[in-house]
Each structure stands twice: as structure tokens, then as C-alpha cells.
Amino acid sequence: GLDDVRILQNFQGVSVMEIAEGENGWSVVVDSPFNRRIHHNTPMTFDGPAAGHDLLKTEADPTGMASLGTFNNCGSGRTPWGTYLTCEENFNGYFGANGDLPGGMVGDGFRRYGIGADGWGYDYHKWDARFDVSANPNEPHRAGYIVEIDPANPESTPVKHTALGRFKHENAAYGIAADGRVAVYMGDDERGEFMYRWLSRDVYVPGEDTSTLLSEGTLSVAVFEDDMSGRWVPLTPATTGMDAAHIAVFTRMAASR
């Protein structure tokens, strides 16, 4: 029932915990104000080109800006500026349908991501209408992102960075380029899919504003040639024939064209 679904939704996600070293080694500071759970119903927001797009709007959130929860979190780690990135991987398994599955472009995306009527046995859709894609076809579009969490600010809202693409994020491995810009390398943990690179527009300066580093820049897809060479192809309207917001929401579809 719904009570069981709520238990499942609350014990999956990310935990932020303060630890301290004592006489017996490291342990969790149980009463720390930094400790918090980030789960399937935690309020989040979007930034980047897809924020506010029609495909992110639902009846509960007509703005397309206020997502709930982070799902099937895979490779995660610290950024140079002290926040935490977590990757939404196989989010498709949480969704199902009590009625007909959507058609058209949305239906094509569902088939490619593996969203079906039965889900993976979590059965959220049977008790929580948010996960019933026949009633809320845009809800899965709100998952599949790199999510940034600020562990030092327990009042902060996690941010889903649409500029880094939407797919089954396996990882987000960063490096600082020679010119000071941030490069993030990402893999799609779906069979036969792609590898991506994000390159920030602005340089990283320790102690300075970092708010644009994962929202303003260029996302590229790796193309490997038969002669073992490769190149990065920017996912721009010019290379894909799609507008920028659709590129962020349907990165995998755009990259395959």
C-alpha cells in the first residue's frame, strides 16, 4: 500500500552526515544540524536550458521548476568548490502505468529509456499517482540528471543541472582544464548509448562564484570513428536540428541523430 511505498521512497537517495574523530575513531555526530536525508520526495529545483520547459511541467508543478526527489543514485563525489554531485541512473524502474502508455515523442523516449507499464517491482504507480505515467506523462522527464547538493548548508535546495544532459548518468568525473574551465566527463549506463563531456563557459576561481559552472557551457557527445580516432560533437541546435531546451531534455535522442 501507500505506507510501504512511502517507506521505500524515504530510505532511497542520499544521506548527508557530519562525522568527527574521537577516542574510538571516526563516528557520526548524531545531533549535527548538517545531518539530513535527501530522498524521493525531497524538494529540488532545475537550472540550465530545460528549466521551466513544458516537458517538465506537471499538474503539481505547472512552473516546470520544482522537482521532487532524486532516483537510483549512482557515482557521486565532491566538486572542487565543496558541493556534492550525485548521478541519477536507472530512474525508469520507478515508473509504471495503470492506463495506456503515452505515444508520440514522449512514448518514443519512454521506450528508449525502458519505461513500461509494470516498472521494476517498486509498484509506486499503483499507490502514488506521481509515478503513474498514464496520468502524469511528464513526471519521468524530471529524473535522469546530475544533482548538486550543498552539504554545508542544510537549508539549501538540491539543483538538477539540465545543461549536463538527461540520461542514465553513471558518473560525473571532473577535471580543471589548462585554461581554468571545468570539464565533466559522463557515461550513460544504458546498453549501446553514449559518452559525454561538459565544458564550462567560465573558469573556476577558488572562493569566487561557482553558480554558472554547471549551467553555462557546452555539452558534447563522443563520436568514435572506425580508424580508432574520435571527436567531441557539441550538442547544439546547429548539430542536432533541435532547440536548446529539447537538447537538454532529450539528450540521448538528439545525440543519435
Q: By three-state DSSP, how is residue 125 classified? A: helix
Q: What is residue 39's DSSP assignment?
A: -
Look up residue 32 and give its three cell numbers: 549535527
Q: How far apart are CA 122 and CA 5, in angstroms?
A: 8
For residue 202, give the nearest of 238, 169, 176, 166 by alpha carbon. 176
Confidence of residue 244 (pLDDT cuts 50, 70, 90): low
pLDDT per residue over 161-191, tens digit each?
A: 999 999 999 999 999 999 999 999 999 998 8
Q: What residues contact 8, with CB distance under 8 A and at least 6 apart?
A: 40, 122, 124
| pLDDT in the model for residue 257 | 39
Confidence of residue 241 (pLDDT cuts 50, 70, 90): confident
- Report the percentage of the chain scoring pLDDT > 70: 94
| pLDDT in the model for residue 237 | 81
For residue 169, give the nearest of 191, 184, 187, 182 by alpha carbon. 187
pLDDT per residue over 65-115, tens digit each?
A: 999 999 999 998 999 999 999 999 999 999 999 999 999 989 999 998 899
DSSP 104-134: HHHHHHHHHHT--SSTTS--HHHH-GGGBTT
Q: Which of 58-62, 125-129, 175-179, 246-250 has the lowest mean pLDDT?
A: 246-250
